[in-house]
């Protein structure tokens, strides 16, 4: 089952220029990326959804853009309005005025009718939060939230993809924002956008199996890996598997559910792919510390082990864990204070911090008795 899940995954690769150290998408904790604003939990691609997703913990918004008949870019997933609104027809055949009148929460019964005035909006929201927004509106409303923008179009109309790419380029030309990524399943659309606007990062959408090895290969090439899930993959086991494979972000239709799992796994504080201490034992004037890798990534690790007792440093040593090696250890020499504490107490409460070089988040502290 897991293999089927991973075959359905999509990798969004964000290039570094020119090296991985300069790729900002590689330096953050694992990102909670709300697909369509979290379409399983909130009305797809609405301002209401985007606000709710961010409040739930989403770090980034993923959205889709089409163009109206009068050349305005709107935030809508399908090329028709039928599935998510109370209207019908192709988005490209409707004007912005016609689009604005639609109820974009129509497929959420408890929120249906707010846009049209048949129901009051929740506290803190307005009727306009439940319409199909323009991309310009979303960019204004969320100036400091990273956004993944997917260029959409009719699958049978190549020219429409290119037109939408050009409209997006016109909108973003000269932008100072560097927290945007432009993607499309239509590679000519990505190429055309990048030809017109070189400052905004672009990424191909690649369908392939996600494995620890493929993620490591992408990282070595300077790319960040964002995995887009299908609806039937939104569950704990899949989240855990992806975290263990060292992905950089998960594009989820259920950002609230994903956020709970990220916090349960401490992925907000500690890189799921780093090194942790498993045991410690005093051996004369040294401490033998057992180490093991977190996650499934086969990469080599380096870092440092720090031991503290009674609030003071009692030992520190660097470590390395070879590529593909599951576990290892390091011998930490005790300081003079450390030797005295152990001699006096026999057994002393201590904390071991393991800091993995290049890991996201702080070191994980293990409490032990030496």
Q: Which residues pair with 184 in a beta bridge?
A: 204
The CA distance from 46 to 288, in Å, is 55
Q: pLDDT digit string (tens) for 270-329?
A: 888 899 999 999 998 999 999 999 888 888 999 999 999 999 999 999 999 998 899 999
pLDDT value at residue 232:
78
* Range among 111-120, 209-218, 280-289 with highest mean pLDDT value: 111-120
The CA distance from 66 to 112, in Å, is 23
pLDDT value at residue 230:
82
Q: Name the band, by pLDDT with cuts 50, 70 and 90, for residue 342.
A: confident
CB 153, CB 160: distance < 8 Å? yes
pLDDT value at residue 15:
52
Q: Among all chains, which residue has been given the structure tokens 């249906």?
A: 112
Q: pLDDT digit string (tens) for 235-248?
A: 999 999 999 999 99
pLDDT value at residue 14:
55
The CA distance from 262 to 72, in Å, is 37
Q: pLDDT digit string (tens) for 166-202?
A: 999 999 999 999 999 999 999 999 999 999 999 999 9
pLDDT at 142 > cutoff 60? yes
Q: Name the band, by pLDDT with cuts 50, 70 and 90, for residue 359.
A: confident
The CA distance from 222 to 109, in Å, is 44
pLDDT value at residue 365:
79
Q: Name the band, by pLDDT with cuts 50, 70 and 90, for residue 36.
A: very high
What tokens appear for 60 in the block?
A: 């980034």
Secondary structure of residue 279 in the 3-state scheme? strand
pLDDT value at residue 253:
96
Residue 197 contacts by C-beta under 8 Å, 6 or more apart in sequence? 169, 172, 173
Whole-angstrom CA distances from 288 to 134, 294, 307, 354 are 60, 19, 11, 14
Tell me which of 15-24, 135-144, 180-189, 198-207 is least confident: 15-24
What does the pLDDT average to over 74-88?
97
Q: Name the band, by pLDDT with cuts 50, 70 and 90, for residue 3.
A: very low
Quick one: which of 71, 48, 213 has its CA closest to 133?
Answer: 48
Domains present along the chain, CATH in parentheses? 2-264 (3.20.20.190), 275-369 (2.60.40.1930)
pLDDT at 16 > cutoff 70? no
Half-sphere exposure of 236 (CA within 13 A, CB side): 5
pLDDT at 343 > cutoff 80? no
pLDDT value at residue 12:
53
pLDDT at 345 > cutoff 80? no
């Amino acid at each position: 089952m897991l293999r089927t899940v991973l075959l359905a995954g999509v990798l969004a690769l964000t290039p570094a220029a020119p090296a991985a150290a300069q790729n900002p998408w590689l330096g953050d904790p694992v990102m909670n990326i709300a697909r369509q604003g979290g379409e399983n939990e909130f009305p797809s691609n609405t301002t209401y959804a985007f606000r709710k997703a961010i409040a739930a913990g989403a770090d980034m918004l993923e959205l889709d853009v089409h163009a109206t008949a009068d050349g305005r870019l709107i935030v809508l997933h399908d090329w028709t309005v039928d599935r998510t609104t109370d209207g019908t027809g192709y988005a490209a055949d409707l004007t912005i005025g016609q689009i604005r009148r639609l109820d974009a929460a129509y497929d959420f019964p408890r929120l249906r009718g707010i846009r049209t005035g048949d129901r009051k909006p929740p506290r803190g929201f307005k009727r306009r939060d439940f319409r199909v927004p323009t991309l310009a509106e979303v960019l204004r409303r969320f100036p400091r939230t990273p956004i993944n923008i997917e260029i959409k179009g009719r699958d049978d109309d190549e020219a429409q993809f290119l037109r939408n790419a050009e409209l997006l380029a016109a909108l973003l030309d000269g932008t100072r924002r560097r927290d945007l990524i432009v993607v499309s399943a239509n590679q000519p659309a990505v190429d055309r956008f990048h030809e017109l606007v070189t400052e905004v990062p672009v990424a191909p959408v690649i369908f392939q199996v996600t494995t620890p090895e493929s993620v490591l290969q992408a990282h070595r090439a300077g790319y960040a890996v964002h995995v887009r899930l299908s609806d039937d993959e939104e569950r704990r086991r899949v989240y855990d598997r992806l975290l263990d494979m060292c992905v950089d972000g998960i594009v989820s239709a259920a950002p609230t559910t994903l956020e709970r799992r990220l916090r349960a796994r401490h992925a907000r504080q500690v890189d799921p792919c780093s090194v942790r201490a498993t045991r410690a034992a005093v051996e004369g004037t040294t401490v033998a510390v057992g180490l093991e890798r977190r996650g499934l990534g086969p990469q080599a690790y380096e870092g440092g082990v720090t031991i503290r007792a009674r609030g003071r440093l009692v030992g520190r040593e660097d470590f390395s864990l070879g590529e593909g090696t599951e576990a290892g250890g390091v011998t930490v020499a005790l300081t003079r204070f450390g030797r005295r504490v152990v001699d006096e107490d026999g057994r002393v409460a201590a904390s071991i911090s393991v800091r993995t070089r290049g890991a996201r988040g702080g070191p994980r502290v293990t409490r032990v008795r030496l």
